[in-house]
Amino acid sequence: MHYPWWYVPYLTAPMLIAVISVLHVLVSHYAVGGGLFLAVEVRHAYRTGDRAYLDYLHGHAGFFILLTVVFGAITGVGIWWTIGLTSPLATEVLIRTFVFGWATEWVFFVVEIAAAFIFYYYWGRLPEKTHTTMGWIYAAAAWISLVLITGITAFMLNSGGWATQPGEQTFWAAFFNPQFLPQTVARTGGALLLSSLYVYLHASLTAKDARLRNMIAARSARPALLGAVLITVGGIAWYCFLPPSATATLQSAAVLNVLVALIFALTIVVFFLIYLGPYRNPGWLSPGFAGSLCLFGIAAFSTGEFIRESIRKPFIVHNVVLANQIAPHEVMKLRQNGFLQSGIWTRAFVAERCPTAVVDNQIDASKLAPRDRLALGETLFLYHCNDCHAGTLGYSAAGPLLKGRPRDQVRAMVERLDDNYFMPPWSGTPEEARIISDYLMTINPARPAGPRHFMKTEGSAEEDTE
């Protein structure tokens, strides 16, 4: 609320972040695991003198650079652009808290880029030992970047005692949060597994020699299986170290339970397909088989990312920033002084749109015309609710969720939002609750015919008979 609002119709701005982030994560994990694959396999090809394999790895490195450096960099910038507009308070908190971590990660990112370009563009011009060393430098820098970013994103899910113990608000206390180790293990496993799946697909499409395809399949099977094991171990530890709010959200949302079951099912399918295919029968490596395997892996990984984002509610940053861009300690002040009055941009909007509501620099909307009250109600909705809900159409639209509810029930729900523990508390005055309720009633569809309709009809008939 302390920043201007960026409105994305239908999809909502946070879902736009999710789309870009998932695309970036699917590539960034390949950047880590694929770098390790290239380092290990180039060393093996040099030791065995396998020129055909070296030629394949050269081609794979070009594909790797194009996907991870070019597309990965574009989506990475896209994430910063969207979170800065959509979640400015959370972005501010993360930058201030982890400024040392961000700076360190950017240093390693520069090392990654330099090592990757030298590794690829000086292929065949560097001594074998130097060329292999550049591959290992890239792989190490990429994995350290993963660790650094994981510490920050894990903090968003469980900040531990950092938010509740002022004396513990240090960089290291934030970085080594309860979710750090589980997510690092799971993401390392994801990097190994995803990179193997990409390698299978690429080899099935580009490697014409059957001996080469079979060798690539066999050599990539072990890291893939190890990755599946690490994902499972890390996922179990991830669940064990969830904060109570996240555990409650996960357990109570039916769709999330279905998605968790889907992740386990897909992981098991991927594990056995890798074991039965590339590990036991490398000759199965056809474009159809590799493509299906890759799709299963991407589906499992994307579902996991969606769940990780969804269960942070009612927070964006656990115990630090609520889902509506408000710090928890601000709620009581906003209830006392008013949501519209307390925000720079909301106050400016009211002064311009409804100047009669401003009396002695204080907002008093009690005597506004209905049209102006609805305009303020929509503003309240955008700032307080649109981080999670579209209006009438779109992602988790508020209108259909309210379908047929009477006005008094809508207002009671607004004033007691956090009765649903995955929603942030109402952060305005009682008058503002009435204003936003007026707006919500304009997007509240009529109640469909149901048991109440038939009960009323039957009762009316009985009254007429009597």
Comparing 6 with 367, which gets the higher pLDDT? Answer: 6
Give the separation between CA 299 and CA 263, rounded to whole angstroms.
8
Q: Poorest-confidence range of 202-216, 234-248, 363-377? A: 363-377
φ and ψ at residue 241, rounded to 5 degrees: -105, 20
- Residues 398-412 have a mean pLDDT of 90
- Residues 331-351 have a mean pLDDT of 91
- Radius of gyration of the chain measured on its C-alpha atoms: 27
Q: Which residues pair with 263 in a beta bridge?
A: none
Contacts of 16 (CB under 8 A, 6+ apart): 8, 82, 86
Structure tokens at 26: 């699917």
pLDDT in tens, 272-314: 999 988 888 888 878 899 999 999 999 998 898 888 888 888 9
Could you tell me what percent of the chain has a pLDDT over 70? 96
pLDDT band at 453, cuts 50/70/90? low
What's the CA dihedral at 394, 397, 399, 405 to 10 degrees?
A: 150
Comparing 463 with 79, which gets the higher pLDDT? Answer: 79
Give the separation between CA 136 and CA 240, rounded to whole angstroms.
34
Q: Which residues pair with 358 in a beta bridge?
A: 363
Number of neighbours of residue 424 by Cβ within 10 angstroms: 24
Comparing 416 with 252, which gets the higher pLDDT? Answer: 416
Note the Cα 160 to chain centre separation in Å: 20
Give the separation between CA 317 and CA 153, rounded to whole angstroms.
9
pLDDT of residue 175 exceeding 60, the answer is yes
Give the separation between CA 114 and CA 260, rounded to whole angstroms.
39
pLDDT of residue 398 exceeding 80, the answer is yes
pLDDT of residue 436 exceeding 80, the answer is yes
pLDDT of residue 72 exceeding 70, the answer is yes
- The pLDDT value recorded for residue 260 is 86
pLDDT band at 152, cuts 50/70/90? very high
Q: 277 with 285: CB under 8 angstroms?
A: yes
Q: Poorest-confidence range of 25-39, 225-239, 389-403? A: 389-403
- The pLDDT value recorded for residue 360 is 83
Comparing 454 with 384, which gets the higher pLDDT? Answer: 384
As a whole number of angstroms, the longest Cα–Cα distance in the chain is 103
Closest-CA residue to 171 (of 105, 235, 247): 105
Q: 177 with 158: CB under 8 angstroms?
A: yes
pLDDT of residue 461 exceeding 50, the answer is no
pLDDT of residue 377 exceeding 70, the answer is yes
Give the separation between CA 223 and CA 232, rounded to whole angstroms.
14
- The pLDDT value recorded for residue 200 is 92
pLDDT of residue 466 exceeding 50, the answer is no
- The pLDDT value recorded for residue 361 is 84
- Residues 449-459 have a mean pLDDT of 63
Q: 424 with 89: CB under 8 angstroms?
A: no
- The pLDDT value recorded for residue 452 is 66
φ and ψ at residue 431, rounded to 5 degrees: -65, -40
